[in-house]
Amino acid sequence: MPPLRTAFDALARLRDARAFHPKGARVDGELTTLDAGPWPLPAGSAQVAARLSKGAGVPDGFRDVLGLAVRVPLETGPWDLTFSTIGSLTRILPFPARGWCDASYSSLAPYRVGGQLRWLLARAARDQPKVDASLRAARRLVRGGGFELVLSSATAIGVPQPIARLRLHTVCDDAGQPTFDPMLNHPPGVTLYPDWLTKARELAYAGSRAGRA
């Protein structure tokens, strides 16, 4: 077994959970496409499953890399989008955030789509209340009127362009926890770049799945 897969397998076994983002809140929501451009998003609105998570799983009250995973239903099958909070200087490195509405979220790696490399970004809508980085606060935010985010497409240079709105409206603590996996669940022809990073992420996700099993 490759070393990277072995490491993620061991960490998942140790935690008895995902290697990273082990703690999360399962929620339901609605994705409304604004201007998809080259992205294969559903026309109009679609009901989605999502998960809000803490990357390292540190106790409440501490900053953490916050995660957002969304399963978008397409005719070709589910498309799992995963985002992590980032700092102000780069889209490719995860960075701890103070709260769910304070930071930008990024796919970290770009997608090869429409003949260009493009990142998917997300940020809380302007009118969202400020809450801390705990899962308790995330659930309260969703229950208190919904957690609304704007999804954008961004090239290496230029201004990000909004492509969809996401409203997370229902906490589903009693529902099963699906495994969001962007390496397994994606539309044909929409792949993460570069190839070596994609291979590394495939090994990491496979190790985490094996360790949980």
Q: Exposure of 57 by Cβ count < 10 A (0-12 exposed, 13-18 middle, 19+ buried)? A: middle
Give the CA-trace dihedral at 36, 71, 54, 172, to 10 degrees.
Answer: 130
Q: What is the pLDDT of residues 191-200, one digit of tens each?
A: 888 776 666 6
- What is the model's pLDDT at position 206? 52
- What pTM does this model have? 0.83
- Lowest mean pLDDT across 79-83, 87-91, 100-104, 142-146: 87-91
Name the average pLDDT for the chain.
85
Neighbours of 110 (CB within 10 A): 21
Domains of the chain by residue range: 23-197
Is the separation of the CB atoms in 75 and 104 below 8 Å? no
* Per-residue pLDDT band at 173 (split at 50, 70, 90): confident
Encoded tokens for 104: 């930008």
Q: What is the pLDDT of residues 152-164, one digit of tens each?
A: 999 988 899 999 9
Query: Considering the domain 23-197 in this protein, what is its CATH number?
Result: 2.40.180.10
